[in-house]
Amino acid sequence: MTDTRVPLRLSDAPRSDDGYYGPDSISWRVFSDPASGLGAKNALFLQMLEPGMMTHFERVSLTSEGADEMAARFDRTAAYLRDSVFADTAHADAAAKRVDHLHEMATWTNPETGEVEEAKQPEWMRWTWWTYIWSAVRGYQEFGPGLSTADADRLVVESHIGAEKLHVPGPHLETFAEVDQYVREGLDTKALTIFAAMAGHSLRHPDVKGPVARWVTRQILNGVLSLLPDQAKLFFAVEDRSAKEFARGARFTKLVATLARKNRTAEDLIAQAIGESVAAPYQRVRVKKTKASPAS
């Protein structure tokens, strides 16, 4: 008979199912495309505008992180977001449990009040989640194949799964129009702390060597920034960028997304995302060693 023994060392569990979304979902199509990833970078600028959350991050960890550590943090976040959609249910659950644990551990004591400040604040969680969904959809709309209103609404409903896994408080939004309204109206209550302003400046002025690389980087940044609502642009030092320059950056960013697809179909991109999740999961799901079956 076939030897089904697991190696003596603990190993990652094999993929067991299609996860919480599956091949019929809009989420697989959108989140596997480079355009949504480019658009999602826009969410960082929106999330910086939640002053309480940025102050909390400054106190908890970000002040001690350099550029390499920050890049690693963003890579881990991207890996989690990938696995939340493309991993099987066991790995998606493990990833969400890990992120939720990290949020619970991210606390600091306010020296003025003596109170312990926690990261899991309801409005911070809602703002972070829905600006991410808004930005990814906007990226896919502007830099990718585009979405019908019905499909955009369906993606919003599908995103409830991820929101619930991270315990994002409801009520959850049901249509993309509601998400858009939430983001735009939410900007009326946002502000830019000095820490967020410095972080935003670093993102807008990365340390890139060479004139060609700097030009390419600026075009992509302009494309990403072009997605921001007009009132959000007022928070950042982009007054030197004209509407014409934003439009040129958006066209270039769309070209970059097109080249990143390398003529691959949506099915090819989905297969790649699943493959990356299997090869390097955000959180491994261990299987225990089993005894050898008796020979027969």
Q: Is the pLDDT of residue 114 over 90?
A: no
Residue 140 contacts residue 122 (beta carbons within 8 Å): no
What does the pLDDT read at residue 236? 86
Segment 49-58, tens digit of pLDDT: 999 998 888 8
Question: Nearest CA to 280 among 99, 53, 91, 93?
Answer: 91
Higher model confidence: residue 201 or residue 295?
A: 201
Q: What share of the chain is helix, strand, coil (3-state, %, to 5)?
A: 65, 5, 35
Of 5-19, 89-103, 116-130, 134-148, the poorest mean pLDDT is in: 5-19
d(CA 109, CA 3): 55
Q: Is the pLDDT of residue 64 over 70?
A: no
Of 8-12, 138-142, 163-167, the poorest mean pLDDT is in: 8-12
What does the pLDDT read at residue 199? 85
Residue 282 contacts residue 80 (beta carbons within 8 Å): yes
Q: Is the dihedral of CA 182, 257, 248, 81 positive or negative?
A: positive
What does the pLDDT read at residue 292? 53
Which residues partner with 116 through β-bridges?
109
Segment 182-195, tens digit of pLDDT: 999 999 999 999 98
Q: Is the pLDDT of residue 296 over 50?
A: no
Q: Spell out the long-range contacts of 232-239 with Cβ–Cβ below 8 A and sequence spacing 24 or more.
A: 232/45, 232/46, 232/49, 232/187, 235/49, 235/190, 235/191, 235/192, 235/200, 236/45, 236/192, 236/200, 236/204, 237/201, 237/204, 238/204
What does the pLDDT read at residue 291? 55
Residue 86 contacts residue 273 (beta carbons within 8 Å): yes
